Amino acid sequence: MTLGDGDIISRLWEMQAWQVGLIWSAGPLLLFLMNGVNTFLHRNRGTKQLPGVTKFWAIMLGDTLLFPTIAALATVVMAKGAPSFMDNSWQTNWVNLLAIILAVVVTAIYAFPLNMFQDERDWTTTRKGRTNIWGVYHFFYFFATVYMLTDFGIRGGGVLASQPNVGVVSRYLVSWLLFGGFGLLTYLDSRVTPFWYRP
């Protein structure tokens, strides 16, 4: 099987691991830049600023460190030309469609009941039921990450089934262990304020 027959995510897997890691590092870096602009605007206007990126474990450690590492490891597993249990084009197309659908559904669940409609406000959701330009970008980044993880989870499993050697198995499992670490960070967000956060 040759990964990379047209869809965006397959073309991503054709790149070098360090390149994909940099792409995923750029996501949170842009988020930090937006947060800096938001801070500047509030200070310039003398208005109260809601909690920004530094309040969240998941952003500070997960988005900046874990997801770029996961993306890089996934690229190694999904190397172009890697044999896969799912070697037909229709299987790749269905996986891609499923990944997009799941990414849309998960992002919608995150955006509405879990983010915009919650009682606690932050810099991306200043009013209940509404978001801003920073929030729109964050939802897009969230969508892209879910899309990548879903595609890797399914198609990476096909690669794993075809070549269950130590290297592939370890990278695949480590990727999901890191994702579990991200889940722990999101739990901490609701329980413990990071020691570096200053309101």
Dump pLDDT digits (tens) for 71-95.
999 999 988 666 666 666 767 788 8
Beta carbons within 10 angstroms of residue 129's beta carbon: 8
Among 40-44, 91-95, 154-158, 181-185, the least confident range: 91-95
Asked if residue 3 has pLDDT above 60, the reply is: no
Among 1-5, 17-21, 109-113, 174-178, the least confident range: 1-5
57 within 8 A of 189, measured Cβ to Cβ:
yes
Residue of 37, 74, 31 whose CA lies nearest to 160 = 74
Quick one: pLDDT band at residue 184, thresholds 50, 70, 90?
Answer: very high
What is the number of alpha carbons within 13 Å of residue 58 lying toward its C-beta? 14
Q: Is the dihedral of CA 55, 147, 26, 140 positive or negative?
A: negative
Asked if residue 70 has pLDDT above 90, the reply is: yes
Which residues are CB-neighbours of 110 under 8 A, at least 6 positions away?
Answer: 139, 142
179 within 8 A of 186, measured Cβ to Cβ:
no
- The confidence score (pLDDT) of residue 55 equals 93
**Assign residue 190 a region: left if phi > 0, alpha if psi is -120 to 50, beta otherwise?**
alpha
Separation CA 48–CA 45 (nearest Å)? 9
Q: Is 111 helix (H, G, I), strand (E, B) or coil?
A: helix
Asked if residue 195 has pLDDT above 90, the reply is: yes
Which residues are CB-neighbours of 118 under 8 A, at least 6 positions away?
Answer: 125, 128
Over residues 10-49, the pLDDT tens digits come to 888 889 999 999 999 999 999 999 999 999 998 888 888 8
- The confidence score (pLDDT) of residue 82 equals 66
Structure tokens at 195: 């020691």
Place of tokens 């892209």: 144
- Average pLDDT value over all residues in the chain: 87
Among 54-63, 74-83, 125-134, 183-192, the least confident range: 74-83
Of how many residues is the chain composed? 199
Element (H, E) at 146: helix 133-162
Its pTM stands at: 0.88
- The confidence score (pLDDT) of residue 8 equals 78
DSSP state of 26: H
